[in-house]
């Protein structure tokens, strides 16, 4: 199947998209509660609402509305001839966000319970992941008709904090990424048995991959691993003997399934972003401990670090680093703060939505930087050119705003002939 967005879906750099006010009005006429629509889809102006509100980043506040959101999705699904496609997608993304956060909390809980010697029943976790995967499948273009047998409430009794900020949380970027991986990494290779995504940053990508990749390549399985050295800095993933403490990365059942899929095979590891390569390097080591061989991919790359340090190099840990520049936390938090304050109009006016360089120009600048560094192998560079050519033809996501104007290639840094050379 194709990992493509439906026509008319235009996500911004954060992953939010506009919902026409006419669709809000139509939904109200169908019986969707106006109060629900107002809370989740704030007006940026008279004609446009946003697909995210403060509740997108407040899972405890949003979770009680899950039954109403399911009912709204069911209602909108019964009126497919009416023009409510953007709103239906927005409801789906909000539900997916809640289920993803809850599934991650369950993942952490089950992992810790096993460490304490009291393994938990993993069925509630698997149910959360399955429901989230079906929601992600609908966003990827698979049939998403829901029946009354699906759960309308979240399972109770899952302790832990519901995390809300994911570095990679744009369905446009995820669709572009999966389209590229299927076309140029997974399908041509034919020898990759599994995909592993470090959470929490890659959680949304992992759920979409669970929906899309096995539907296209039935023999390939998709796995989560809880691994990171930035947002999970407090965890001691590295053992005294230099190995990765696999028991910290997943509940026992999921750990065993990844080990079985990796043994004697190749595993594609996809991280949301690579800076210094610590997480990718640890993931490579983990797959090796399971008896497999990792092929590592980053969805974004902090190319500006090459400007910051003369000896920066990640060529030894990143087999296929994306030419996308990284979407800096500083800008992400600024955009999210607009939504958290209820300032939808301020969000719509933010300068992050007016980047002068488009993504293809930025990627061309990153490729020129990679050439100039001199540490990337011919194989690395060939894969970069392949990604750039695919992006020129197929990717729809917007350009990445700089955090401070430094280090991210701008259009005037890229010769016009270079920008066209990989079309």
Q: Say which DSSP state 99 is in.
A: H
Residues 197, 251: Cα–Cα separation, whole Å: 15
Helix (H) or strand (E) holding 295: strand 293-298
Question: Taking 60 as the threshold, does the pLDDT of residue 211 lie above it?
Answer: yes
User: How would residue 264 be classed by pLDDT, with cut points 50, 70 and 90?
Assistant: very high
Q: What is the phi/psi pair of residue 50, to 5°? A: -100, 150
Segment 360-386 shows an average pLDDT of: 94
Residues 108, 292: Cα–Cα separation, whole Å: 24
The set of long-range contacts for 380-384, using a CB threshold of 8 Å and a minimum separation of 24, is 380/315, 380/319, 380/320, 380/321, 383/319, 383/320, 384/321, 384/323
Question: Taking 50 as the threshold, does the pLDDT of residue 2 lie above it?
Answer: no
Identify the pLDDT of residue 310.
65
Residues 341, 334: Cα–Cα separation, whole Å: 11
Max CA separation in the chain (angstroms): 64
Q: Which of 164-168, 353-357, 401-405 has the lowest mean pLDDT?
A: 401-405
Q: Is there a contact between 324 and 298 (Cβ–Cβ < 8 Å)? A: no
Residues 103, 158: Cα–Cα separation, whole Å: 9
Q: How many CB atoms are closer than 10 A to CB 202?
A: 29
Identify the pLDDT of residue 417.
40
Segment 173-187 shows an average pLDDT of: 94
Question: Taking 50 as the threshold, does the pLDDT of residue 408 lie above it?
Answer: no
pLDDT tens by residue, 94-144:
999 999 999 999 999 999 999 999 988 999 999 999 999 999 999 988 776
Question: Taking 90 as the threshold, does the pLDDT of residue 385 lie above it?
Answer: yes
Residue of 31, 114, 43 lying closest to 68 (CA atoms): 31
Question: Taking 50 as the threshold, does the pLDDT of residue 266 lie above it?
Answer: yes
Considering the chain, what is the average pLDDT of its residues? 87
Q: Which of 29-43, 52-66, 88-102, 402-416 has the lowest mean pLDDT?
A: 402-416
Strand 192-199 versus strand 221-226 pairing type: parallel
Extended strands (E) in 29-132: 48-50
* Measured CA distances, 420 to 19, 120, 373 (Å): 34, 54, 22
Segment 58-84 shows an average pLDDT of: 88
Identify the pLDDT of residue 414.
35
- With a threshold of 0.75, does the pTM exceed it? yes
Q: Is there a contact between 210 and 129 (Cβ–Cβ < 8 Å)? A: yes
- Enter the tokens of residue 293: 């061989």
Question: Taking 70 as the threshold, does the pLDDT of residue 80 lie above it?
Answer: no
Extended strands (E) in 139-263: 192-199, 221-226
Identify the pLDDT of residue 148.
56
User: How would residue 420 be classed by pLDDT, with cut points 50, 70 and 90?
Assistant: very low
Q: What is the phi/psi pair of residue 8, to 5°? A: 95, -15
Identify the pLDDT of residue 146.
62
Segment 188-199 shows an average pLDDT of: 87
Residue of 274, 262, 267 lying closest to 228 (CA atoms): 274
Residues 248, 111: Cα–Cα separation, whole Å: 7
pLDDT tens by residue, 244-259:
999 999 999 999 999 9
Residues 250, 229: Cα–Cα separation, whole Å: 16
SS3 152: coil
Identify the pLDDT of residue 418.
35
pLDDT tens by residue, 45-69:
999 999 999 999 999 999 999 999 9
Helix (H) or strand (E) holding 233: none
**What is the percentage of the chain residues whose pLDDT exceeds 70?**
88
Radius of gyration from C-alpha coordinates of the chain = 21
Identify the pLDDT of residue 114.
95
- What order of strands is seen across the sheet that includes strand 293-298? 221-226, 192-199, 266-271, 293-298, 320-321
Between residues 11 and 405, the one the model is more confident about: 11
Q: Is there a contact between 320 and 383 (Cβ–Cβ < 8 Å)? A: yes
Q: Which of 123-132, 184-193, 264-273, 313-322 has the lowest mean pLDDT?
A: 184-193
Taking 3-state DSSP, the helix, strand and coil percentages for the chain, each rounded to the nearest 5, stand at 50, 10, 40
Identify the pLDDT of residue 402.
82
Identify the pLDDT of residue 115.
92
- Enter the tokens of residue 400: 């990445």
Segment 283-296 shows an average pLDDT of: 96
């Amino acid at each position: 199947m194709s990992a493509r967005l439906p026509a008319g879906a235009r996500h911004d750099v954060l992953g939010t998209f506009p919902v026409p006010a006419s669709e809000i009005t139509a939904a109200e006429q169908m019986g969707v509660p106006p109060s629900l629509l107002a809370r989740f889809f704030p007006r940026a102006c008279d004609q446009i609402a946003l697909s995210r509100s403060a509740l997108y980043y407040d899972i405890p506040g949003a979770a009680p509305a899950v039954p109403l959101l399911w009912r709204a999705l069911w209602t909108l699904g019964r009126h497919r001839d009416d023009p409510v496609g953007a709103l239906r997608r927005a409801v789906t993304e909000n539900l997916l966000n809640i289920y993803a956060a809850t599934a991650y909390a369950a993942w952490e809980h089950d992992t810790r319970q096993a460490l304490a010697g009291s393994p938990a029943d993993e069925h509630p976790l698997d149910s959360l992941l399955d429901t989230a995967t079906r929601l992600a499948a609908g966003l990827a273009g698979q049939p998403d008709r829901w029946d009354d047998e699906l759960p309308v409430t979240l399972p109770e009794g899952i302790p832990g904090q519901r995390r809300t900020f994911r570095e990679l949380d744009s369905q446009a970027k995820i669709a572009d990424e999966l389209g590229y991986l299927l076309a140029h990494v997974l399908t041509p290779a034919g020898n990759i048995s599994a995909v592993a995504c470090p959470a929490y940053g890659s959680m949304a990508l992992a759920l979409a991959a669970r929906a899309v990749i096995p539907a296209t390549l039935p023999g390939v399985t998709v796995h989560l691993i809880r691994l990171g050295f930035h947002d999970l800095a407090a965890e001691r993933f590295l053992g005294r003997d230099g190995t990765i403490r696999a028991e910290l990365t997943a509940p026992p059942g999921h750990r065993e399934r990844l080990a079985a899929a990796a043994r004697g095979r190749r595993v594609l590891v996809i991280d949301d972003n690579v800076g210094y390569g610590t997480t990718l390097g640890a993931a490579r080591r983990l797959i090796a401990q399971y008896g497999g061989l990792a092929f590592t991919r980053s969805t974004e790359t902090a190319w500006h670090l090459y400007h910051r340090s003369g000896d920066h190099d990640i060529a030894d840990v990143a087999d296929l680093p994306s030419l996308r520049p990284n979407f800096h936390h500083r800008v992400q938090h600024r955009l999210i703060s607009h939504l958290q304050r209820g300032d939808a109009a301020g969000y719509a006016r933010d300068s992050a939505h007016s980047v002068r360089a488009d993504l293809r120009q930025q990627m061309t600048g990153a490729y020129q930087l990679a050439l100039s560094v001199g540490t990337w192998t011919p194989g690395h560079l060939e894969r970069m050119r392949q990604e750039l050519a695919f992006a020129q033809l197929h990717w729809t996501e917007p350009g990445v705003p700089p955090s401070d104007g430094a280090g991210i290639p701008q259009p005037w840094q890229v010769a016009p002939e270079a920008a066209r050379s990989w079309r």
